[in-house]
Amino acid sequence: MRRLIAVLVASLFMLAGTAGVAAAHAKLESMTPADGSSMAAPPAKVVLTFNEPVGSDGTQVQVKSPSGKDVASGDVQVIDNTVTQPVGAMVEAGKYTVEARVVSADGHPVEVSGAFTVTHAGHPATEPAAGTPASSPSGGGSNTVTIVAMCLVMLVVVALAVVIVRRRPAS
C-alpha cells in the first residue's frame, strides 16, 4: 500500500512539474502581412495571432518604415489571441519591420518581430486580401494536446492503482 501511495505521489509531482513546461509562454502563430512577404500596396493594419490569449496591459506594437519611423497609428487592439495594430500612410517603398511585446497568459512578457516589403511608395493603406497566406513559425501550435494527454496518463495510473488495491487479498 505504501509503494502504491509513493508511486501516485511521484506521478502527481511529475505531472505538475511537466505541466508548467507544457503551458509555457504564448507563441506567435501567424502575422499578417506574412513575415518575409512582399506587396505592392501597403496594408492598413498588422495582425499578430498567438497560440493562446494574451493580455492587453503592456501590449506594444511598432511598425517601422525603412527610414526607422514608427508608422503605427491609433491604439493597439487585443481580442483573445489576436493583436491588431492600425498603421498610417506608408509612403516609403522598402522593408517595414514589426516589433511587438505582449504579455502571455502566464504573466511573462513575450517579444516577437517580423518584416514585410512594400514595393510601391505613396499608395494609401489597404486591407489585406482575404485568404492572404500568413506565416507559421515552426514549433508553434497549442500545448493543449500535451496537457490533455498527461491528464489521461495520470487517470490511467490512478485507475490501475485502484484495481491493484482492490484485488489484494485482505490480511
**75-105 residue pLDDT tens:** 999 999 999 999 998 889 999 999 999 998 8
CB of 100 closer than 8 Å to CB of 62: yes
CB of 29 closer than 8 Å to CB of 141: yes
| Dist CA 70 CA 130 (whole Å) | 26
Provide the whole-model pTM: 0.60
- pLDDT single digits (tens) 62-73: 999 999 999 999
In eight-state DSSP terms, residue 154 is H
Q: How far apart are the first and last CA of the chain?
A: 12
